[in-house]
Amino acid sequence: MSIKVKPDGDFVFTGDIEKDPSDVIDLVIDYAPFFKTDTIGTITVTGTNITVDSSSVASNVVTVWVSAGTDGVDGEVKLNVVTSTRTLERTLVIKVLNK
């Protein structure tokens, strides 16, 4: 799923983020509109009720791979992104549903 971060720091995407408990999905989050000329230095990604398999950053785009979860229990992915001048922490909610 492709997600953009607006200049005010809010996420922009269409529809709900959904996955089956057995799916492994990638979330691609583009922070360029928010950070403009800053460059991401570090990211910390944690999951609640979902497994964060890995994360990476290239330019100002973060890719997070998530898996697992329990049917009917929302998972959360918390992203803490730091540049030399700013920190932005946001949480994405992922609906976990048997499909």
pLDDT at 7: 74
pLDDT at 51: 98
pLDDT at 11: 75
pLDDT at 72: 96
Distance (Å, rounded) from C-alpha 45 to C-alpha 89? 10
Residue 18: both structure tokens together: 């959904």
**What averages of pLDDT result for each successive group of 10 residues across the chain (99 residues)?**
74 79 94 88 96 95 96 96 91 93
pLDDT at 34: 85
Contacts for 31 with CB less than 8 Å, ≥ 6 apart: 5, 40, 60, 61, 62, 81, 88
pLDDT at 55: 96
